[in-house]
Amino acid sequence: MSAPTEREQALPKPRAARRKESPLRKAVLEGLWHNNPVFRQILGICSSLAVTNLVLNTLVMCAGLTWATALSCWTVSLLRNWTPHRIRMMVQTLIMAFYVILVDLALKAYWPEMSKNLGPYVGLIITNCIIMGRCEAFARVNPPGLSLIDGLFSGIGYSMILTLVAVIRELLGMGTILGFPVPYFSTGWDKWIILVMPPGAFFTLACLIWLFRSIQSDPEGKKP
Amino acid sequence: MREKPWYPVVFMFVLTAFFSLILIGLSRFTRDRVEANQKLAVEKAVLLALPMALPAKASSLELHQFFLDRVSEPTPSSGGAYVLMEGDAVSAYALPISGQGFWDRIQGVIGIAADKKTVTGIAFYEQNETPGLGAEIAKPPFRSQFKDKQLAEGPKPLSFKPVGSSLGQNDVHAVTGATQTSTRLEKLVNEDLARWRAAMEKEGESPP
> Is residue A5 included in any domain, yes or no?
no
Q: What is the pLDDT of residue B133?
A: 83
Read off the pTM: 0.75
Q: For residues A168 and A27, give the distance between their C-alpha atoms in angstroms, rounded to a whole number.
A: 28
Residues of B in Cβ contact (< 8 Å) with A174: 132
> Is residue A67 included in any domain, yes or no?
yes
Reduced to 3 states (helix: H, G, I; strand: E, B; else coil), residue A12 is coil
Reduced to 3 states (helix: H, G, I; strand: E, B; else coil), residue B56 is coil
How many beta-carbon contacts under 8 Å exist across A and B?
70
Contact A108 B23 (CB under 8 A): no
> Is residue A171 included in any domain, yes or no?
no
State the average pLDDT over residues A6-20: 51
* DSSP letter (8 states) at residue A37: T
> Is residue A119 included in any domain, yes or no?
yes
Domain boundaries, chain B: 46-205
Q: How many CB atoms lie within 10 A of CB A36?
A: 25
Task: Choose, out of A71, A96, A114, A116, the residue to mutate when testing the contact with B (most B CBs < 10 Å).
Answer: A116
Indicate the pLDDT class of residue A75, thresholds 50, 70 and 90: very high
Contact A57 B131 (CB under 8 A): yes
Give CA separation, A143 vs A97, A108, A168, in Å: 21, 33, 38
Q: For residues A1 and A131, give the distance between their C-alpha atoms in angstroms, rounded to a whole number.
A: 12
- Which residues on neighbouring strands pair with residue B171, listed in sequence order? B159
Range of the domain at A145: 23-163
> Is residue A79 included in any domain, yes or no?
yes
Residues of B in Cβ contact (< 8 Å) with A57: 131
Q: What is the pLDDT of residue B191?
A: 93
**Cα A196 to chain centroid, rounded:** 21
Contact B15 A91 (CB under 8 A): yes
Whether the pLDDT of residue A221 is over 80: the answer is no
Phi and psi at B203, nearest 5°, equal -60, -40
Whether the pLDDT of residue B23 is over 80: the answer is yes
Q: What is the pLDDT of residue A219?
A: 54
**Complete DSSP assignment for B27-40:** HHHHHHHHHHHHHH
pLDDT 10s digits, B112-121: 998 888 999 9
Reduced to 3 states (helix: H, G, I; strand: E, B; else coil), residue B97 is strand
State the average pLDDT over residues A144-165: 93
Tell which residue, B2, B20, B23, has the closest CA to residue B11: B2
Give CA separation, A19 vs A15, A16, A28, A147, B140, in Å: 7, 6, 15, 22, 57
State the average pLDDT over residues B45-66: 81
Predicted complex ipTM: 0.75
pLDDT 10s digits, B83-118: 988 877 888 999 999 999 998 899 999 999 988 889
State how many domains chain A has.
1
Q: Edge-to-edge, what's the strand order for the sheet holding B82-86? A: B71-72, B82-86, B89-100, B105-113, B119-126
> Is residue A94 included in any domain, yes or no?
yes
Indicate the pLDDT class of residue A64, thresholds 50, 70 and 90: very high
Reduced to 3 states (helix: H, G, I; strand: E, B; else coil), residue B85 is strand
Q: What is the pLDDT of residue A1?
A: 44
